[in-house]
Amino acid sequence: MLVPLLLLAMTVQEPDENEDLPLDEAQIKTAGEVIGIEYTDDEAELMLRGVVRNLRSFEALQRRSLENGVPNSLVFDPWLGRPGASAGWAQAAPWRLPEVDVERPADLEQLAFADLATLAALIRSKKVSCVELTEMYLRRLEDLDRELSCVITFTEERAMAQAKARDEELARGEWRGPLHGIPWGAKDLLAVEGYPTTWGAKPYEHQELDHDAAVVERLDEAGAVLIAKLTLGALAWGDVWFGGTTKNPWKPEQGSSGSSAGSSSATAAGGVAFAIGSETWGSIVSPSDRCGNSALRPTFGRVSRHGAMALAWSLDKLGPICRSVQDAALVFEAIHGSDRRDVSTLYHLGARNPEKPVEKVGFFARALEESDDEDDSRAAEYRAVLDQVEALGVELVPVELPDYPVSEMMLLLNVEAACAFDELTRSGRDDELVRQERMAWPNVFRQSRLVPAVEYVRANRLRTLLMQDMAKVMEGIDVIVHPSFAGSALTLTNLTGHPTVVAPYGFREDGTPFSISFTGGLYEDERLLRFAHRWQESTEHHLKHPNL
């Protein structure tokens, strides 16, 4: 150990004995109280000069500016929960697009809520041109935005150029697939060259990035047409952005939830055919529940986050927000895959068990009990869902999720987010964010600077045990069907990286939708989507739309 200690002494010097120090022993003891440790007078005196040395180290590190896109060198891998297990990666067969024979409607706006199969059939047969469909959605989204506040930037020039190019390809007999010419919207944490990428936050209102996000590139390749960059709660929290609050199309006096606020609102309202959202802790599931969308939060690492705002490197995920599970499967097919620019996508290059039928489905017995909390348990509706699932020929198996302090473990998110936006905090520009309250990013960023690195590492080690215990739960079942916010399900599965499909299932007394969720095994996104689609085919909830 002598050489490393000598090197440490050479690089970061402790202050001289006669040097005036910026701290004293009393402050060391107070700092200990803040993190739950009691230091004696002797311990504080002994620590003092080393703590000052650490402060100087912090200052040296802070002198190197870090852009938000610089990744963490430590990469989260959900498969750590299954050490030594055989992965069995495979290439999933392409999603079979149903054959649809549909005629061009007299008014193209009648297609606003059409599924992707219908839109693809009309475009491929040239009954509707890509330009016509793009113009219709642009006009409609502009009208909707006046009430819903769901758009930050329209990308009309880019969209029309893309639509014309897609029509020219069709004239030559070239068809890129089911997303050819389909208008879509991007949550505005995705970089699009030539347009602002605001992250929904006032300090970044005029930020322009010189590249496209990976999912934008892949959807371009699939032939989709980007018509707008949609709202998100500032820095991916909630539904309040620097221009206002994004609204729920079912109840415009209510916020759409977030942080994929605009993606969910615009899709549910028929302003785009589909959208891309992101989730770190509920940001796809929650607004999809409120707005009545069918969406996929993929397994961590299945979709590249290159060009997306980083909030928490070990938790961020991108996924499709659509009007049906089948649509979500078609979009996921276009956007997933490895990308050397996002190392989290390089560990597991394929899908697991994509064609294997689902035989055993887990359910939460406790959620069948009546509850005073509407979001925690809708017992009668949950029983009805389980009856429908059982009718698909599967065995229902009661399960309980591992018992861990998962909400407390989410200090991982707060600490990583505080690091991602540390320079914003230290510059004082966090004061420009619209929400300045206890449960908002400016305050959480400041609080999280006081979380000891020891506790951050401890939470990650607990996360490893949680992943291992969750793997044991999933060994006996193929899918879990559960109320979207039942117990610890949403938090726990974000920590473990498991995929979840959320889909509408009924309406509250105020006329707003609520959802059910399907959680699958790691890297079994395709299998999960197929099963959730089978269930959804037996329902009509996703076919209902808000009357705006």
Please name the helix (run of DSSP H) or strand (run of DSSP E) that holds residue 408, with its range, or none: helix 406-409
Active-site hit among 187, 229, 247, 317 = 187
Q: Are the C-beta atoms of residues 522 and 78 closer than 8 Å to each other? A: yes
Active-site hit among 129, 257, 265, 283 = 283
| Residue 332, SS3 per DSSP | helix
- CA 270/CA 292 separation, integer angstroms: 12
Write the DSSP string, 250-304: TEEEEE--SSSHHHHHHHHTTSSSEEEEEESSSTTHHHHHHHT-EEEEPPTTSB-
Q: Is the peptide bond before 260 cis (omega within 30 degrees of 0)?
A: no
- CA 533/CA 121 separation, integer angstroms: 20
- CA 44/CA 384 separation, integer angstroms: 61
The pair phi, psi for residue 352, each rounded to 5°, is -105, 135
Planar angle of CA 529, 534, 536, nearest 5 degrees: 90
- The structural domains of the chain, with segments of one domain joined by +, span 23-64, 79-404+459-543
Strand ranges (DSSP E) for 4-71?
none
**Tokens read off for 111:** 């297609």
Q: Which CATH superfamily is domain 79-404+459-543 in?
A: Amidase signature (AS) domain (3.90.1300.10)
- CA 373/CA 411 separation, integer angstroms: 25
HSE value, Cβ hemisphere, 13 Å, CA-based, for 319:
36
- CA 188/CA 197 separation, integer angstroms: 6
Q: Helices 489-496 and 453-475: crossing angle, nearest 10°?
A: 100
DSSP state of 211: S
pLDDT tens for the chain, 548 residues long, are 444 544 444 456 778 777 889 999 999 999 999 999 999 999 999 999 999 999 999 999 999 999 999 999 999 999 988 877 767 788 899 998 888 889 999 999 999 999 999 999 999 999 999 999 999 999 999 999 999 999 999 999 999 999 999 999 999 999 999 999 999 999 999 999 999 999 999 999 999 999 999 999 999 999 999 999 999 999 999 999 999 999 999 999 999 999 999 999 999 999 999 999 999 999 999 999 999 999 999 999 999 999 999 999 999 999 999 999 999 999 999 999 999 999 999 988 789 999 999 999 999 999 988 555 554 447 889 999 999 999 999 999 999 999 999 999 999 999 999 999 999 999 999 999 999 999 999 999 999 999 999 999 999 999 999 999 999 999 989 999 999 999 999 999 999 999 999 999 999 999 999 999 999 999 999 999 999 999 999 999 999 999 98
Q: Is 449 left (phi over 0), alpha (psi -120 to 50) or beta?
A: alpha
DSSP state of 303: B
Catalytic residue flag (residue 187): yes
Active-site hit among 259, 294, 324, 517 = 259
Catalytic residue flag (residue 283): yes
Catalytic residue flag (residue 515): no
